[in-house]
A and B are shown apart, each in its own frame.
Chain A
Amino acid sequence: NAGVTQTPKFQVLKTGQSMTLQCAQDMNHEYMSWYRQDPGMGLRLIHYSVGAGITDQGEVPNGYNVSRSTTEDFPLRLLSAAPSQTSVYFCASSYSRLQGQKRTQYFGPGTRLLVL
């Protein structure tokens, strides 16, 4: 049981380049989400998904796309990277249909992205 995994751990991009941040979980969680972390701002929700085929926008979705074709995977795509997207990105997952304790979100180790 690997939990939530993210790749790559670190990436440097030039402005305008595209890339996909990978996220996978092996806990059969319905809910998956992407956050970005910036100094002094905590974590902000980018996109989330409550199940395969269903995605929705969070607080800061502009410049990012997501899809959810399987329960396990939730990739985050940057179509044209900008310096403002330099950040640390975290993926998280949890059960969503059950109440209470099982809604706890588990986080991946993060991806550090630098856009020049």
Chain B
Amino acid sequence: AQSVTQPDIHITVSEGASLELRCNYSYGATPYLFWYVQSPGQGLQLLLKYFSGDTLVQGIKGFEAEFKRSQSSFNLRKPSVHWSDAAEYFCAVNDYKLSFGAGTTVTVRA
């Protein structure tokens, strides 16, 4: 069975600082991996996705993620955080059915 673990429930970061959100997955084959972002009261927006090929994936809003098969990880990074990045972030793995992690809430302080 597939599953996703996001170890950090809540992260606080200063504006302009770097951000890294952790994601570990369990899946029997090569996974399809996703990061979604959800602003308060809003739906889910796709940030980026990994299907195959280059293990460093670029997404929208300046985010990137790196797939590491040996560590079963797909961590999300941003070099310099903006106040508008405050949101909840979900990592997901997909066969036909998408399995989500519990999410990481990011707070950005001025």
Chain A positions near chain B (C-beta within 8 angstroms): 31, 33, 35, 40-45, 48, 50, 58, 90, 92, 96, 100-101, 103-110
- Give the total of B residues in contact with A, Cβ under 8 Å: 22
Q: Which one, B44, B51, B97, B99, contacts A101 given CB within 8 A? A: B51
A92 B100 Cβ-Cβ under 8 A: no
Q: Which one, A33, A50, A101, contacts B98 given CB within 8 A? A: A33
Q: Which one, A41, A45, A96, A104, contacts B34 given CB within 8 A? A: A104
A40-B9, A41-B102, A42-B101 known; A103 vs B44 contact (CB < 8 Å): no
Residues of A contacting B96 in the complex (Cβ-Cβ under 8 angstroms): 31, 48, 50, 96
Q: Which one, A41, A104, A108, contacts B43 given CB within 8 A? A: A108
Q: Say how far B4's CB is from chain A's closest CB, in angstroms.
A: 8
A100 B51 Cβ-Cβ under 8 A: yes
B46 within 8 A of A: yes
Q: Which one, B32, B51, B90, contacts A43 given CB within 8 A? A: B90
B70 within 8 A of A: no
Q: How far is the CA of A41 from the CA of B101 in the complex (A)?
A: 8
Q: How far is the CA of A42 from the CA of B90 in the complex (A)?
A: 7
A42-B103, A101-B51, A104-B49 known; A92 vs B42 contact (CB < 8 Å): no
